[in-house]
Structure 1
Amino acid sequence: MTSSRLLDPALAAVADAQHAVLRQEVARLVAVLDWCAAHEVSEAEASLHTMTPGLQLGGPGCPWVSEFDTHDLACVLGRSPDSCAVYVGNALELRHRLPRLWARVVGLEVPVWKAFRIAEQTQQLPPAGAAEVDRALAPTAHSCTFAQVDRTVASALAAHCPDEVERRRLAALEHRRFDVHLDHVRSLDGTVEVTGTLDLADAVDLDTAVAGVAAQLGELGCHESWDARRALAVGEIARAQLALDLETTTGRGVTVYAHLRSDSDVVETTGTTITTEQLATWCRHPGTQVTITPVVDLPGGDPTAAQALAQQVAAWRHDDAHIKPVIDLSADLTSAGYTPSPRLAEQVDVRDRRCVFPFCNRRRTDRDHTQPHDSGGETRSSNLARLCRSHHRAKTHSPWTYQQLRPGVFEWHSPAGATYTVDRSAEP
């Protein structure tokens, strides 16, 4: 950092503000580490699976912290549980296993985010390997590139854990994946991200196939850009593969939970927004199967527009679309026994969208009885909520408590005495 006095007063003000941000970030980091020290549990206690289980969030040798107490910390930081765990893990790694880098961070010579980038990498190393990276990178951490960090960590891993390098290479083969992110449809344009990690040979074959079909589409008169034709090619390849199995239903399937206002030309679906024209394009495509579920929103609404949309879908297709009964998110449905009926389960899932714990964004959830079923809690809309497994355990085995004030509105009370309100009805 330069110590010279800037002549431009406005630029000097920016520099002062930047320096203040660095100080505040370090102050928050130190406060979090003090909190970790106050909520530390021993490895022996953590292994007993007691009522206060522990988490090892940093690398080997870092202290363990109380799992349920981290939920309080996540709420105070305004972070999701996963984001909070990453932050705490990096903080513990930096403080306990990278002392040289830690000293530079406290001295405001290296920003917290850059140090965390290194700490995230060294958590996979044994103590000696982390110490080697600390010695190599601390002096130049303020200016080194991410590629330099990766090379230094890889060198330390090879030197200290040669067997681990081979194990990771073989394990990487088991972590190949191909994901189509249907739960994150982009609003209005109706597109989704596709990501994957493939074997090199498979990746080359896929790229060749996509390029070949994209070229054929151009020869057949498609005037889209090359990138757009490659995207279209993936769909064509997929539909061709489906058609090979005569017992498999071909074509795409579109399910829409329709939250449609009469004065709007967009359809509010679960997790995204699309135009009616985008929906029309899907419906007119050969082989498309469309399911429409009209939804009456919180705190109440009119299903007429959604029902009209369902009728429009039938007109677009010139046949009957699959139109399901209206879901009223304000209705208090009931089921006999512990397990909710499919209709009740669908209503709760659409209403809550994801885990209802403060700041949690996890979509893989349980349906929790707010008042436990074995204590007289009924299986009904007003007594059910979506909780991820971690927060379900916290509600069951720790002092965390919550209640549903009205449909889609939940009030949580933390062991530290804080109160948080989660209002799904207010979300767009």
Structure 2
Amino acid sequence: MTTSRLLDPALAAVADAHREKRRVEVSELLAVLDWCAAHEVSEAEASLHTMTPGLQLGGPGCPWVSEFDTHDLACVLGRSPDSCATYVGNALELRHRLPRLWARVVGLEVPVWKAFRIAEQTQQLPPAGATEVDRALAPTAHSCTFAQVDRTVASALATHCPEEVERRRLAALEHRRFDVHLDHVRSLDGTVEVTGTLDLADAVDLDTAVAGVAAQLGELGSTESWDARRALAVGEIARAQLALDLEVGSTTGRGVTVYAHLRSDSDLVETVGSTITREQLAAWCRQPGTRVTITPVVDLPGGDPTAALALAEQVAAWLHDDAHVKPVIDLAADLTSSGYTPSPRLAEQVDLRDQRCVFPYCNRRRTDRDHTIPYDAGGETRSTNSARLCRSHHRAKTFSDWDYQQGRPGVFEWHSPAGATHTVDRSAEP
């Protein structure tokens, strides 16, 4: 352990603030664990799928907690449901399965974040494996590297769960994937992350193909950097594949849907949920074979639909000669549909208005469309009775005492079983 004697008053003040921060973090951790103890659900109760289902968020042997009650905790902590579940799982793991490390955290010798990094890894281990890691890492947890943590956990997994190691080796064949993260487009520059896990042979072939096209782009006069040419090469390979006439009647080329919002930030437009510059959008839309659809959107109450339509037509004329302009969508309008299922227009309006799950602090974009007042209880299928909820919060609203009202389009008031009230205003978001 390192100790210091600080003569600089300003630096000493920083050290005092740092120690106080650790004390506050441990105090919060203890309070959360007290909350967990007060909302514990037995494994037997959880297995019965009662009205208060349980979650085992830590490793084997950790207490279960009430699923729907965790939503109250997430709101108090100002965390998303996933972030809250991770925090609670790490806290329970640390307290109940890593006693040596827990003692050092409470003694302010190891920061909470470092202990959580270890606890997150040990949750996959049986109790004996967690004990082995705790014994090995607790003495040096304040200074050990992440690589040391990974090696120690891997060793414990091989010792205590050899069958699990083999299962994972075989299962890894089914975990190959290739993801293009279109739901996380970077603002302004219009770039996205691409990640994947491939067989080695496939990875070598892909790397060779990308390098070959990147070299050709350079020979053809591209002045971009090598890395940028490799990125451009992936697009060239994809467009070449799309151009193959593999099926009769197949559609080739890219499709771009643009939402033209009637706002003051006229230098920006939005495409499939991400704000980008006009220049970047133009580069996309003017690629040969691209199909462009423009949807005018009125964001604020009292907005002029005629002005929104005129804006969309201007954007269409500037972007692409064959762009198709759809009817105006007014986010403040109260649209209706007959029957349970919303019309495509109503569904699109609600999706644009809410953007993601409307539960407090929730950022999930994979959602259900919920009738605020249930349809079978007389609730209509209309804008002011529709909202986007992720599956977890949809279940909480349906099967627990959580409920909410929509006072006006895009403004939701939630009431928790603990008596708290939370207001979510999506109409005020850009």
Taking structure 1 as the reference length, what is the TM-score of the superposition?
0.97
Report deviation, 1:272.
Answer: 2.5
Residue in 2 that maps onto 1:370: 372
**Are positions 1:360 and 2:358 aligned together?**
no
**Are positions 1:77 and 2:81 aligned together?**
no
Q: Superposed, which structure 2 residues align to 1:98-137 within 5 Å? A: 98-137=98-137
**Counterpart amino acid of residue 109 in structure 2:** E
Q: For residues 416 and 263 of structure 1, what CA distance do their matches in structure 2 show?
A: 41
The range that moved more, 267-276 or 344-353, is 267-276
Residue in 1 that maps onto 2:32: 32
Report deviation, 1:318.
Answer: 5.7
The answer on whether the counterparts of 2:257 and 2:272 sit within 8 Å (CA) in structure 1 is no
Q: Superposed, which structure 2 residues align to 1:206-217 within 5 Å? A: 206-217=206-217
Task: Specify which of 297, 313, 317 is matched with residue 299 of structure 2.
Answer: 297
| SS class of match (2:196) | strand
Residue deviations 1:306-362 (CA, integer Å, cap 9, x gap):
434533454346632121111100110111111111111111111100000000011
Residue in 2 that maps onto 1:92: 92
| SS class of match (1:183) | helix
Residue in 2 that maps onto 1:343: 345
Q: 1:102 to 1:377 in 2, by over 3 A?
A: same
Residue in 1 that maps onto 2:406: 404
The answer on whether the counterparts of 1:42 and 1:64 sit within 8 Å (CA) in structure 2 is yes
Q: 1:392 to 1:262 in 2, by over 3 A?
A: closer
How many aligned residue pairs are there? 428
Q: 1:320 to 1:35 in 2, by over 3 A?
A: same
Report deviation, 1:301.
Answer: 2.5
Report deviation, 1:170.
Answer: 1.4
The answer on whether the counterparts of 1:68 and 1:394 sit within 8 Å (CA) in structure 2 is yes
**Counterpart amino acid of residue 325 in structure 1:** P
Question: What is the root-mean-square deviation in Å for CA atoms of aligned residues?
Answer: 1.5
Q: 1:69 to 1:130 in 2, by over 3 A?
A: same
| SS class of match (2:258) | strand
Report deviation, 1:250.
Answer: 2.0
**Are positions 1:175 and 2:178 aligned together?**
no
Q: For residues 256 and 343 of structure 1, what CA distance do their matches in structure 2 show?
A: 15
Report deviation, 1:261.
Answer: 3.7
The answer on whether the counterparts of 1:369 and 1:379 sit within 8 Å (CA) in structure 2 is yes
Report deviation, 1:277.
Answer: 1.8
Q: Superposed, which structure 2 residues align to 1:158-237 within 5 Å? A: 158-237=158-237
Residue in 2 that maps onto 1:386: 388
Report deviation, 1:243.
Answer: 1.4
Q: 1:300 to 1:188 in 2, by over 3 A?
A: farther
Residue in 2 that maps onto 1:242: 242
**Are positions 1:252 and 2:254 aligned together?**
yes
The range that moved more, 317-326 or 32-41, is 317-326
- Identical amino acids, percent of aligned pairs: 90
Task: Specify which of 285, 288, 305 is matched with residue 286 of structure 1.
Answer: 288
Residue in 2 that maps onto 1:307: 309
Q: 1:186 to 1:265 in 2, by over 3 A?
A: same
**Counterpart amino acid of residue 338 in structure 1:** Y
Residue deviations 1:166-206 (CA, integer Å, cap 9, x gap):
10111122111111111121111111111112222211111
Report deviation, 1:245.
Answer: 2.7
Q: For residues 156 and 52 of structure 1, what CA distance do their matches in structure 2 show?
A: 35
Q: For residues 345 and 283 of structure 1, what CA distance do their matches in structure 2 show?
A: 25
Residue deviations 1:366-406 (CA, integer Å, cap 9, x gap):
11111111111111100010001110110011111100011
The answer on whether the counterparts of 1:94 and 1:102 sit within 8 Å (CA) in structure 2 is yes
Report deviation, 1:5.
Answer: 3.2
Report deviation, 1:304.
Answer: 4.9
Residue deviations 1:105-138 (CA, integer Å, cap 9, x gap):
0000000000000000000000000000000000
Report deviation, 1:36.
Answer: 0.3
Q: 1:305 to 1:261 in 2, by over 3 A?
A: farther
Report deviation, 1:230.
Answer: 0.7
The answer on whether the counterparts of 1:284 and 1:316 sit within 8 Å (CA) in structure 2 is no
Q: For residues 265 and 397 of structure 2, what CA distance do their matches in structure 1 show?
A: 42
In the alignment, structure 1 segments of 5+ residues that lack a partner are none
Q: 1:65 to 1:287 in 2, by over 3 A?
A: same
Taking structure 2 as the reference length, what is the TM-score of the superposition?
0.96
Report deviation, 1:425.
Answer: 1.0
| SS class of match (1:267) | strand
The answer on whether the counterparts of 2:292 and 2:322 sit within 8 Å (CA) in structure 1 is no
Q: For residues 95 and 29 of structure 1, what CA distance do their matches in structure 2 show?
A: 10
Residue in 2 that maps onto 1:415: 417
In the alignment, structure 2 segments of 5+ residues that lack a partner are none
The answer on whether the counterparts of 1:300 and 1:329 sit within 8 Å (CA) in structure 2 is no
The answer on whether the counterparts of 2:72 and 2:418 sit within 8 Å (CA) in structure 1 is yes
Q: For residues 243 and 270 of structure 2, what CA distance do their matches in structure 1 show?
A: 32
